[in-house]
Structure 1
């Protein structure tokens, strides 16, 4: 086994591999990324072999692009990602650092279970720091630190332990089915029209996983949470354009857009005209 350990980074490679095992540990670690060196990973640029990645934020903040949206990855949140896949995560400019645990596994059965768990629970999940999966990851790091994974079956056992801990840590969705989402979501968004609001943030607010929240919201309202957020923000924008003399840039900022160009682009897609044309034509 060749193990590289720098700032708690472990890479496992067994040149004498003779077993095609259902779960294999590829790497694991504990890192605290800062802006002294670039940190960005694209899921389509990491090879063609199936790989499951679990990354749990301890402190600071990360940023994830997934399914056409951008998500803040805050302390207590875990990203569940697959390779190859269209996603990209990074240390954003506004965050001073991003501290996290991570583990990557492969093997047909491990990836299958990981994929199914993510389908049911979402790709961005909140776990308390005493969750079984977090404690298991800490124990795996301890064993790697003590070099207790010196052969392929031992490393496979750690990967299997992680997958079982993950399955046992499935989030419990605590919002009763009888309770409607729309009033809570509407109040939350209307109080925050001047800043970005993500679907993951709304899911966290109502104590649901991303997947369950998105599914229930669309079932209840007939539209996606993302479309609903846009509807509220641009409804507000249209009223500001009609009833104030604020510049387009000021209106964009008031609706939570730091980039006025992107605001104008989305506005034109929704209204069929630019903000300036909309204002002139009433």
Structure 2
């Protein structure tokens, strides 16, 4: 699937609006956000969701398979955002936000990844069997010499019979590979983690001279999320993965980033 930025923006807007309307309808009927996430997980039930949103954004994609996976990804992101908001805010959604606090002028220009676990970073980034072909091309070896080591972390083991450094006619090394989309998903995971953490630090109520306010109601959540997003680059994610995995970053290969570890 390949969309221009303009078409992707239109598709995202249509799908996100339709999904939020659907989720709001279920919430009004007393269904929890966690039950909504669980309910639509099976593909058969997810097809019902597509009908309920009247196949919003479908005209921008060429085939049904692309559309279903595209909506599934957006649905998962919308659900995670809703859960994050509920868990960190627990605020009354009916309170009007009359004053907006802007974050761009005072948010820090750097941060560290120390509190983010590798499991959280790799959550929901998906796994692709096509990675073996990319590894085969990059290392000039045959696909049958490549085996999956840990699908969760996108790592593989490569047996290279061309080298004989171990004097047993082969040498093994491990490879970690991530696509450009997976790196972007990691950025999204990082932003969600930071925003949730920031909200958890904000007091629910502040009282002064008998006046009580709820700080959350004065904040523009979208502005905060955008501001945090500007702080995180692909290079930050690559450096973090290199540090925590102990793999050596080899190169960017097309739309893929490749790390290597010699056993």
TM-score with structure 1 length normalisation? Answer: 0.30
TM-score with structure 2 length normalisation? Answer: 0.32
Normalized per residue, the structure richer in helix is 2
Normalized per residue, the structure richer in strand is 1
